[in-house]
Structure 1
Amino acid sequence: MPHPPARRLPRLPLAAVFPPPPGPGVRGDAGPCPEAQFRRVTAERATVLGGPAAILLQVAHPLVAEGVAVHSDYAAGPARRLLGTLQAALTVAFGDTAQAHEAARRVGRAHAPVRGTTRADVPGTPAGTPYRANDPDLALWVHATLVWTARTVAERYAGVRLTPDERERHWQGSKPFARLFAVPDRVLPGSVTEFDDYVAATVRALVVTDAARGIARDVLTQRTAPPLPGVAALARSVTADVLPAPVAAAYGLDRTPGRRAAAGAVRGLLRTARPVLPEPVARWPHARVARDRVR
């Protein structure tokens, strides 16, 4: 079936993709997420390229898709919503204890009303299945998509080389972040191997619903002010490259030769430029603020 025409969405000023860091915070307070490898990956500004892929992975879970479709304002301004999520995540990752907890509380308050029952039958999820945003298993999947896409983009696009031990430390370092977003220890995979197995198993069980496809269209038709021709097509190419192939295909983001070439060009450009980029360009300023606070 042909897709319905994209809606006219609010334009996003380009300055919005450079969210300011929080205040300096309490000197000496490393915050709840101080692990070096977790911050090393999270600090890479290139990880923002994985934002759409993370959202599409999240809503490929039918219960997450239903919650977002019914309760979210993605359609009113998908780019602003995504960047608001980004700012909260950066504050939790790099803020001091009070800043991180307050950012997490704001997200928790926004998610508290998200509950209900599904409206349509989906394979494995019959109509009437209850959902709530703070369900531990759903919260774990949302956290997993953020960790997995950030690591994937950092390695693939920013040239960050993680040894097996560094991958393990990156996963362990993400656990305090998860706990602040209502993911209890009892559902967190113990090791990075268990984490990767969990992601792979969950991906095999995902079902991309019509609600998820609608959210994807909103997320992938972001508009900027001033307009940047070709940005939407490039976002689709990168998202198709980052997503697991079956999930990308279910969204209609098949890895065509054109998309593979576009994603390859972005990878080559970023990996070549990254070693010579100044820190304020390559890394989120939140990382510098956190470093200065504990120096």
Structure 2
Amino acid sequence: MGRNLDRLLRDMIAPPQGMAVDFASPPGAAALFAPASLTWRVMKNPVALMVGGIAAVILELAEPRVRTGVWEHTSFRRDPVTRMRRTGYAAWTTVYAPAATARAMIAGVVRAHGRVEGRTPAGLAYRANDEELLNWVQATAGYGFFEAYRRFVRPMSDAEMDGVYGEGADAAALYGALGVPRSLRETEAYFEMMRPKLEASEIIDEFLTIVRAAPILPLKGVQRLMVRAAVEITPRWARDILGLGRDYGFRAGHETITRTLGALADRIVIESAPPAQSCKRLGLPVDYLYR
């Protein structure tokens, strides 16, 4: 199983075309996050990244302005694999790359977002660089990654969750999200505030159908399991709003399998992956995050 998981993880971490970053140099270059941070340990896990990323998009698409911007101004529908890989690699660049590289990448994202604006089918105006929308995107990403890690990789205390949420605030601000929650309690309060603004949409069902079928992983059963895991960590109240009933979530045995995959992924060192390469850049053993 370890050998198959190793192959699966290598497929998941392959850099998208045009986004390759040298995480191993220059020697000693600090990242936006410290190697001892909780963020470095959480974000190294590809299972948590995939499950959390899908859960984040489910929540993002529940907000009508974000949903329209994503669906009308990105390549997701015609090329979901590249879009998902680019999003995941951008997250790794933000966390692990030399700070100068991360800031340059983020500045490019902000410039690109500056060209995205329009109106929802209901007539609501939106801009991709609107701080309210950026806060929602960043908050849902953090929730997805951290909740997936806590649920399927390693239990995290409320204090650890507070810590990992707090660590991400400065990087979120570089994207223009100045009001992201900085603790578990703030996240819960923020989600409660956003709850009346969320709504069901057939686009969310379409998104889940696309992700289940897209050639993302070589093992289709694992890919479909990752989608179910993402629905499973979406807050129950949000699932009720979106109409994601029990058929979308786990079936018997699924949680155990997902936890097994998550725990194994947390111990398999892939030296070519950004987390290990970044450890090397900072003079740390490549297995530093896996001990």
Q: Which residue of 2 aligns with 1:29?
A: 29
Distance of 1:221 and 1:129 partners within structure 2: 32
Q: Is the 8 A contact 1:74 1:218 kept in 2?
A: no
Cα separation, 1, equivalents of 2:240 and 2:222: 20
2:229/2:249 contact within 8 Å kept: no
- Equivalent residue for 1:183? 177
**CA offsets 1:33-87 (integer angstroms, 9 cap, x no match):** 2261121111222212222111111111111011112212111111220111000
User: Which blocks of at least 5 consecutive residues in structure 1 are unaligned?
Assistant: 1-12, 120-126
Provide the C-alpha distance between the structure 1 equivalents of 2:242 and 2:226, rounded to a whole number of angstroms: 14
Deviation of 1:138 (Å): 0.6
Partner of 1:64: 66
Choose between structure 1 and 2 for higher RCO, CA contacts under 8 A separated by at least 6 residues.
1
Match of 2:159 in 1: 165
What is the deviation of 1:14?
Answer: 8.8
Task: Indicate yes or no: 2:225 matched with 1:234.
Answer: yes
**Deviation at residue 180 of structure 1 after TM alignment:** 2.0
Q: What's the CA shift for 1:208?
A: 1.9
8 Å contact kept, 2:211–2:227:
no
Whether 1:144 aligns to 2:139 is yes
Instruction: Give the root-mean-square deviation of aligned CA atoms.
Output: 2.8
Dislocated runs of 4+, deviation >4 Å? 13-16, 249-252
**What residue in structure 2 maps to residue 132 of structure 1?**
127
Looking at structure 1, the residues matched to 234 and 157 of structure 2 have their Cα atoms a distance apart, in angstroms, of 22
2:213 to 214, 221, 225: 221
**SS class of match (1:74):** coil
SS at match of 2:118: strand
Shift of 1:293: 2.1
**In the alignment, structure 1 residue 265 sits paired with structure 2 residue 264:** no
User: Structure 2 matches for 1:1-295, cutoff 5 A?
Assistant: 16-20=11-15, 22-23=21-22, 24-34=24-34, 36-47=37-48, 48-119=50-121, 127-159=122-154, 161-184=155-178, 187-203=179-195, 205-224=197-216, 228-231=219-222, 233-256=224-247, 259-270=250-261, 273=264, 277-280=267-270, 285-295=273-283
The alignment's TM-score, normalised by the length of structure 2, stands at: 0.81
Give the secondary-structure state (helix, strand or coil) at the position aligned to 2:231: helix
Contact 1:118 1:129 survives alignment (8 Å): yes
Does the C-alpha gap of structure 1 residues 253 and 211 become closer, same or farther in structure 2, counting only changes over 3 Å? closer
Once the two structures are TM-superposed, the CA of residue 107 in structure 1 deviates from its matched residue by: 2.1
* Structure 1 residue 173, shift from structure 2 partner: 0.9
**CA offsets, 1:74-111, max 9 Å, x none?**
11111220111000110111011121012212322332
| C-alpha distance in 2 between matches for 1:19 and 1:44 | 14
Q: Which runs of 5+ in 2 are unaligned?
A: 1-7, 284-291
Q: Identity of paired residues, percent?
A: 25
For residues 219-268 of structure 1, the C-alpha deviation after alignment (integer angstroms, 9 at most, x for no partner) is 33323586x44355424421221212243355553224983325313234
User: 202-211 or 53-62, which moves further after superposition?
Assistant: 202-211
Q: How many residues align?
A: 269
Question: In structure 2, what residue type is equivalent to 1:22?
Answer: V
SS at match of 1:220: helix
Moved more, 137-146 or 39-48: 39-48
